[in-house]
Amino acid sequence: MEEHCPRCECHGHIFMDGVDFRRARDLHRYRPDTAAIRTHLAAYQTRGIRYFRDGGDPFGVSLRARELAGEYGIRYVTPAFAIHRAGRYGGIVGRGYTTLGEYRALVAQASALGADFIKLMFSGILDFAEYGTISCPPLPTKEIRELVRIAHGEGFAVMAHVNGADAIRAALEAGTDSIEHGYYMDEEDLKLLAETGAVWVPTMAAIAPFAHRPGCRPMVVERLLDEQAEALCKAAAVGALIASGSDAGAVGVPHGAGLAAEWALLEQALGPAGCAVIERGNQAVRERFCRK
Ligand SMILES: [Zn+2]
């Protein structure tokens, strides 16, 4: 599948190095480290990857990467930073708000920095020791609706980190343009996914490495991957859009190689027909996640 499909990394974080989060964070803390960015961009160029959608970072690294990406033949889009509610998950990739007024100000900041779209954090992360558990409660449905409405009103598409059936449903009903991760997606969510035309980026390559990490149970990781694969099959069957994104940069997901790992998992889940499915989803991401 990999050879024939356009190579798009639809979810990555160029500021992370796929190995050591603290080291990467410290490297960029005061100023984006151009040498590190170039190393990662070269890893994409080498593999013929021509498109990169960043999931955000707190230091302006993705903005610097966008300036350099053309030299590597890569079309690069970024939200500048991701936006989360203060006290909830998301601080590692962006900035937080406590009131809707502060949120509006962050959208204006992203806009001033030249963001291509807005990245929002609606839920926590998966717990790999305890099936069914997510690290923090999701944002209330009403808040999700407001966040998306405001971003759309400013002319931005919305990429949203979201796990859990109810939060995914709220995100889809609010008009979120892409669902990132989307674990624990249920039948109703799948129906809505197809109806709304939102794109799902399942990021399986980011989950797989947890199977052998301390504090994680391999059986939980396997179950999550199996259920994600099953949901993907159903999503493809009802004509939903699915795109390839590995969460490259996260620990265990190297730049470049992460997308190959994602492709392998997508192929396993969707079979040979998967290429055409992913091609459609990637095309939708490329078209929608740029400033109008
Ligand atoms: Zn991410």
If you measure from the C-alpha of residue 160 to the centroid of ligand 1, how many angstroms do you get, rounded to a whole number? 9
Is the pLDDT confidence value at 151 over 50?
Answer: yes
If you measure from the C-alpha of residue 236 to the centroid of ligand 1, how many angstroms do you get, rounded to a whole number? 23
Is the pLDDT confidence value at 1 over 90?
Answer: no
Give buried/exposed letters for 208-234 (b at 16+ CB in 10 A, else e): bbbbeeeebbeebbeebbeebbebbee
If you measure from the C-alpha of residue 9 to the centroid of ligand 1, how many angstroms do you get, rounded to a whole number? 11
Q: What is the mean pLDDT of residues 136-152?
A: 97
Taking alpha carbons only, the member of 25, 26, 78, 16 closest to residue 52 is: 78
If you measure from the C-alpha of residue 247 to the centroid of ligand 1, how many angstroms do you get, rounded to a whole number? 5
Q: What is the pLDDT of residues 14-58, one digit of tens each?
A: 999 999 999 999 999 999 999 999 999 999 999 999 999 999 999
Residue with tokens 């930073």: 81
If you measure from the C-alpha of residue 56 to the centroid of ligand 1, how many angstroms do you get, rounded to a whole number? 7
Total-model pTM: 0.96
CATH no. for 8-288 = 3.20.20.140
Indicate the pLDDT class of residue 5, thresholds 50, 70 and 90: low
Is the pLDDT confidence value at 240 over 60?
Answer: yes
Domain ranges of the chain: 8-288
If you measure from the C-alpha of residue 121 to the centroid of ligand 1, how many angstroms do you get, rounded to a whole number? 10
Helices (H), ranges, the chain: 21-28, 34-46, 61-69, 100-112, 141-153, 165-174, 187-196, 218-237, 257-270, 274-288
Indicate the pLDDT class of residue 173, thresholds 50, 70 and 90: very high
Q: What is the pLDDT of residues 66-124, one digit of tens each?
A: 999 999 999 999 999 999 999 999 999 999 999 999 999 999 999 999 999 999 999 99
Report the sign of the C-alpha dihedral through residues 257, 37, 160, 163, in that order.
positive
Rg, C-alpha atoms of the chain = 17
If you measure from the C-alpha of residue 186 to the centroid of ligand 1, how many angstroms do you get, rounded to a whole number? 22
Taking alpha carbons only, the member of 275, 269, 284, 282 closest to residue 235 is: 269
If you measure from the C-alpha of residue 180 to the centroid of ligand 1, how many angstroms do you get, rounded to a whole number? 8
Q: What is the mean pLDDT of residues 2-23?
A: 86
Q: What is the pLDDT of residues 252-262, one digit of tens each?
A: 999 999 999 99
Orientation of helix 187-196 relative to helix 218-237, angle to 10°: 40
Q: Are 258 and 248 in contact (CB under 8 A)?
A: yes
pLDDT of residue 246: 97
Indicate the pLDDT class of residue 273, thresholds 50, 70 and 90: confident
**Residue 214 Rama label (left phi>0; alpha psi -120 to 50; beta):** beta
Q: Are 65 and 78 in contact (CB under 8 A)?
A: yes
Is the pLDDT confidence value at 127 over 70?
Answer: yes
Is the pLDDT confidence value at 292 over 80?
Answer: no
If you measure from the C-alpha of residue 209 to the centroid of ligand 1, how many angstroms do you get, rounded to a whole number? 15
pLDDT of residue 172: 98
Is the pLDDT confidence value at 182 over 90?
Answer: yes
Is the pLDDT confidence value at 4 over 60?
Answer: no
If you measure from the C-alpha of residue 10 to the centroid of ligand 1, how many angstroms do you get, rounded to a whole number? 10
If you measure from the C-alpha of residue 253 to the centroid of ligand 1, how many angstroms do you get, rounded to a whole number? 11
Q: What is the pLDDT of residues 187-239, one digit of tens each?
A: 999 999 999 999 999 999 999 999 888 989 999 999 999 999 999 999 999 99
If you measure from the C-alpha of residue 87 to the centroid of ligand 1, how many angstroms do you get, rounded to a whole number? 18
Report the sign of the C-alpha dihedral through residues 90, 92, 93, 99, in that order.
positive
pLDDT of residue 212: 87
If you measure from the C-alpha of residue 28 to the centroid of ligand 1, how many angstroms do you get, rounded to a whole number? 17
278 SS3 class: helix
Q: Which two tokens stand for residue 31?
A: 């100023």
